[in-house]
Structure 1
Amino acid sequence: MIIALDRTYWQENNILIASAIYQKRAFPIFGILLSKKGTSNLRKQQIVLRPVIKLSKAHQIVIAGDREFHSVDLAQWIGRQGVKFVLREKKDTNFRLRRRKFNSLSSVQTAPGQQEFFSKINITKKKGFCPFNLAVCWRRKYKNKQEKDPYYLLTNLRDLETAVKAYKQR
């Protein structure tokens, strides 16, 4: 089951919400009103995700989030809960392959229509984070529309196809 983590404005309310995805529809499970405008922080994200994870212990879930939820701290926390995740990262996020120097994700050489999967990468210069997997996907041109940049998906899923499929359901 895919759980989408999202934030939205409804009327004058800033809402952080977790929704179950079923047949291309999002069904809200749990959410909170944020007291400020703008993005949420790790503490608020944990408040929303804890009851959802607790309710879903009997099921295998994958938490999917867009670039607002690019936090390595969030990824580490979700992984410690025994839950799978796929979170879209920003292109200026630092990563390192096999003890090489850190580079931004935008330095990954790719082209439209290509996909790559990197296992056990370091995604931040901070110490204490376990290695993650990274899926890099750039959609091919479709109906004369071309994505400007590839997607960078931080995940603890084991392969490219599963990570991309989970994120697309978000």
Structure 2
Amino acid sequence: MTSAPEERAARRSQTRKMTADDAETAAALSNDEGAATWDALAFRRELDVPHARLEVVEQDGRVVAFAVWWEVEGELDLLNLVVEGAYRRRGLGRRLMDCLFDEARSRGITRLQLEVRAQNAPALALYRSYGYEVVGRRPGYYADGQDALLLTCELDGR
């Protein structure tokens, strides 16, 4: 259930496909928020990958969130989802997750997967609310030595 402030924030925002013009902003956001650090060139390259989808959320006239996922062998793999700190808890991450799930349903995909830092409790809570379950761990996966958790979600007609 979303609160009134979350609903107002969601109404003031728009979701759209990322463009090359968004690459610098997405890279800065990724680096600032400690996500998988991609530079602008990495985002531009992803835009040319046929099985990749990149979405952004604009609010207050600027990009404040993004998500990147791939369709690989009949599954959707969420590679990166970042919401700028000042814009968290406003439903923007949910908006991006809804895009991911809408795409899965429209393509008949029933399995989704992702990796997340084991210590990222807010992200884990979001993913679990969508039905993701932890299925594995990759010790020391990230450059800073943190573990990654592997999560999957089976849609099964949801």
Q: TM-score, length-normalised on structure 2?
A: 0.36
From the two aligned structures, give the one with the greater helix fraction: 2
Q: TM-score, length-normalised on structure 1?
A: 0.34
Which structure has the larger Rg?
A: 1
